[in-house]
Chain A
Amino acid sequence: MTTVQIENENPVQPFLRMDRMPHIWCPGCGIGTTVNCFTRALIESKADLSKVAVVSGIGCTGRVAGYVNLDSFHTTHGRAIPFATGLKLANPKLNVVVYSGDGDLFAIGGNHLIHAARRNVDLKVICVNNLIYAMTGGQTAPTTPGAVITSTSPYGTYDPSFNIPHLVEAAGAVYVARWTTFHVRQLAKSMNEMFQKKGFGFIEVLSPCPTLYQRRNKMGDGLDAMKFYKEHSKVKHGCPTSEVSLTKAGEIIVGKFVDRERPEYSDLMHAHLREQLGEAYVEAEQVEMEHTLCS
């Protein structure tokens, strides 16, 4: 008789707050897959994990901050990026990852995203795009493609939707990529690549929401979404972002679209102030935790 050795220790387990399991995500949801890729990218990147901070806004994706065993901040709806900006500027040794939903980052938080990309603040933004507001019950998002039934578009959407990579590139990001939760290896690799790069990096991950997006639109379950991604995705690295808009049933262009150099915000600030003020410029010192005993 042959015995089968089953490995029941998940390699990403140390990255998760196991004392918070089970998580709240639905069966077939893609958010967990993106977290898996994220942890693998962290392993690959050999980053000092004590220096990695995750900042999320609000939404199903926003809950990522609560499940990763890292310094993590679950902020307010849409404001993850400005929080992360303050965190990074005050403590430049941190690797700050903003991890949130498409509604959070592009509707209520759209202005913040644009300005952080413009400044080229050294933030890594992972946007899980399920094309909908999930946590609030499946309303239309600025990313929802045309002719999709949502709880606030019972006759189908007609609001034109955002082409996220195009917007982010125009705003100034130095790294822009898109993948789906079918492309787990590419996604993890892309995340690692983004982590290695200084400046405002952005990855959009298309992710299924079987519970709210697919159900209403009779698009099946999580597995059906994987099949859809597999059949409809086309890898086109370097594709002009103006050409990567999404439709309900059309082609999904994935790949790395932008990888360029621009001065990063802090570098720019230091160089400029040093030039203007000379000796008078005092660069911010790192605050150290002074371990004073609680009385």
Chain B
Amino acid sequence: MNADPRGVLTGSHFLDGDHAACEGALAAGARFAAGYPITPSTEVVERYAMRAPKVGGTFIQMEDELAASIAIQGAVWGGAKAFTVTSGPGFSLMMEHIGYAAMTETPCVFVDVQRGGPSTGLPTLPAQADMMQVRWGSHGDYEIIALCPNSPQECFDLMITAFNMSEKYRVPTFLMMDEVVGHMTEKVVIPSADQIYVEPRNFTAKEPAAFKAYEACGEECVPEMVMAGEGYNIHVTGLTHDERGYPNMTPPVQDTLLKRLVGKIRDNADKICLYEEADTEGADIVVVSYGITSRVAQRAIDLAHEQGIKVGKFRLITAWPFPEKKIAEIAGKVKALVVPELNMGQMVREVERCAGGKAKVLAVPHAGGSVHRPEDILKAIVEVAR
């Protein structure tokens, strides 16, 4: 389905990442947003508050992040496409409802413009410190999809991807920005509506009597959806539930449900994972990075090339599900993987796990507050190249 032209600001614009993400949401058909202000994410909903009333959208500023993260899910069951926006401390408050969205298979999008932590940390300064929180922050076993843009253009593009994936897999999906990407201003090209694919909600065509709200459906094992008010008398619960959606807290039902919830993402990881790869063929070293760090890493890679080091680049666009096979494959061919991140070492653990000892893995941590200096990454490249 094509985007609704009323939400698409076609043309070339000079936008920061936060505003571009908002335009992406509007283009993707998001007609409901709830938020609670926090730097450096607020500009996303500030723009939405201005734009939404002109395109049939609703914005509500809720009393806290707990409220915002569940209000969007109410809106989804009311039929809307919906999202919320936050940063580190607010993201911590949203964890409860990431679990709820995963368990109830409520398609919705969360934008996290990351800042340094822990706790109130660095309100206006960058980090990539929520990469594990997004994956593991809620309790229990679940899978999510998380995307990491490295430019305002990608904030726009990947926001649409996030909405589309969240609908396709009925899973909470995350745009994991960082303060720099959120606040940097660059050219953003917004295509015409007929050039933008929008995944429609997979509403069922079944009669109410024949419909089971949580019956695995289609190739991806994702149930068809309904919305409230259509006579289906659905029951949605965060409790372990059977195919009808009824609570059933027995080990076999839990087993069936969780296998499907994690399976629909794990089994489709190859279809979901997006990444960017350059010069990895024949490389001795590959730098694995994401978000703003990938742009600093590019400079380090260029400097390393000048020194004649055979270094390639692998950029995670999808952080979760983690592109395990791809990293394992690269690890099998190179001497070392260098992993710069704006945290004290989060995604590097995944890289190490997937490398399985086949290649050396060197973390280049940074506590946040600014970005790496390219020289720091270069130093690590030179060190492992020796």
Interface residues, chain A, CB within 8 Å of chain B? 17, 19-20, 50-51, 53, 55, 65-66, 69-76, 78-79, 82-91, 93-94, 111-112, 114-115, 269, 273, 277, 280-295
Closest A residue, CB atoms, query B81: A287
Contacts of B237 in A (CB 8 A): 65-66, 73-74
Q: Supply 5 further A-B pairs (C-beta < 8 A) apart from A82-B34, A282-B55, A287-B78.
A: A71-B233, A85-B71, A90-B32, A115-B63, A294-B204
Pair B6/A90 contact, Cβ less than 8 Å: no
Interface residues of B in 215-245 (CB under 8 A from A): 217-218, 224, 226-239
Contacts of B57 in A (CB 8 A): 284
Pair B75/A76 contact, Cβ less than 8 Å: no
B142 at the interface (CB under 8 A from A): no
Contacts of A85 in B (CB 8 A): 60, 62, 67, 71, 74
Pair B232/A82 contact, Cβ less than 8 Å: no
Pair B236/A74 contact, Cβ less than 8 Å: yes
Chain A to chain B contacts (Cβ below 8 Å), 26 pairs: A19-B246, A20-B246, A50-B229, A66-B247, A69-B233, A74-B237, A74-B238, A76-B97, A76-B238, A79-B70, A82-B62, A83-B74, A85-B67, A86-B71, A89-B60, A90-B75, A90-B82, A91-B229, A93-B229, A112-B63, A115-B67, A282-B53, A283-B56, A284-B58, A289-B226, A292-B205
B141 at the interface (CB under 8 A from A): no
Contacts of B63 in A (CB 8 A): 82, 111-112, 114-115
B137 at the interface (CB under 8 A from A): no
Taken together as a complex, chains A and B put the C-alpha atoms of A108 and B338 apart, in Å, by 45
Closest B residue, CB atoms, query A56: B237
Given A66-B235, A74-B235, CB of A84 within 8 Å of CB of B53: no
B256 at the interface (CB under 8 A from A): no
- Could you tell me the distance in whole angstroms from the C-beta of A123 to the nearest C-beta in chain B? 11
Pair A65/B235 contact, Cβ less than 8 Å: yes
Taken together as a complex, chains A and B put the C-alpha atoms of A294 and B156 apart, in Å, by 29
Closest A residue, CB atoms, query B203: A289
Contacts of B60 in A (CB 8 A): 85-86, 89
Taken together as a complex, chains A and B put the C-alpha atoms of A289 and B206 apart, in Å, by 12
Cβ 8 A contact of A53, one of B201, B217, B229, B238: B229
Contacts of B53 in A (CB 8 A): 273, 277, 280-282
Closest B residue, CB atoms, query A95: B229
Pair B67/A79 contact, Cβ less than 8 Å: yes
Given A83-B73, A83-B74, CB of A289 within 8 Å of CB of B202: no
Contacts of A269 in B (CB 8 A): 58
Contacts of B55 in A (CB 8 A): 282
Given A72-B235, A87-B74, CB of A82 within 8 Å of CB of B200: no
Pair B234/A71 contact, Cβ less than 8 Å: yes
- Could you tell me the distance in whole angstroms from the C-beta of B101 to the nearest C-beta in chain A? 11
Given A83-B73, A89-B75, CB of A289 within 8 Å of CB of B97: no
Contacts of B32 in A (CB 8 A): 86, 89-90
B79 at the interface (CB under 8 A from A): yes
Interface residues of B in 61-104 (CB under 8 A from A): 62-64, 66-68, 70-80, 82, 96-97, 100
Taken together as a complex, chains A and B put the C-alpha atoms of A277 and B72 apart, in Å, by 25
Pair A294/B202 contact, Cβ less than 8 Å: yes
Cβ 8 A contact of B200, one of A90, A282, A290: A290
Pair B235/A111 contact, Cβ less than 8 Å: no
Cβ 8 A contact of A291, one of B71, B203, B246: B203
Pair B56/A75 contact, Cβ less than 8 Å: no
Pair A84/B74 contact, Cβ less than 8 Å: yes
- Could you tell me the distance in whole angstroms from the C-beta of B63 to the nearest C-beta in chain A? 4
Contacts of B75 in A (CB 8 A): 86-87, 89-90
Cβ 8 A contact of A76, one of B96, B206, B232, B233: B96
Contacts of A19 in B (CB 8 A): 246
- Could you tell me the distance in whole angstroms from the C-beta of A263 to the nearest C-beta in chain B? 16
Pair B67/A277 contact, Cβ less than 8 Å: no
Contacts of A69 in B (CB 8 A): 233
Contacts of A87 in B (CB 8 A): 74-75, 77-78, 228
Contacts of A86 in B (CB 8 A): 32, 34, 60, 70-76, 78, 82
B386 at the interface (CB under 8 A from A): no
- Could you tell me the distance in whole angstroms from the C-beta of A61 to the nearest C-beta in chain B? 14
Contacts of A71 in B (CB 8 A): 228-229, 232-234
Taken together as a complex, chains A and B put the C-alpha atoms of A93 and B218 apart, in Å, by 31
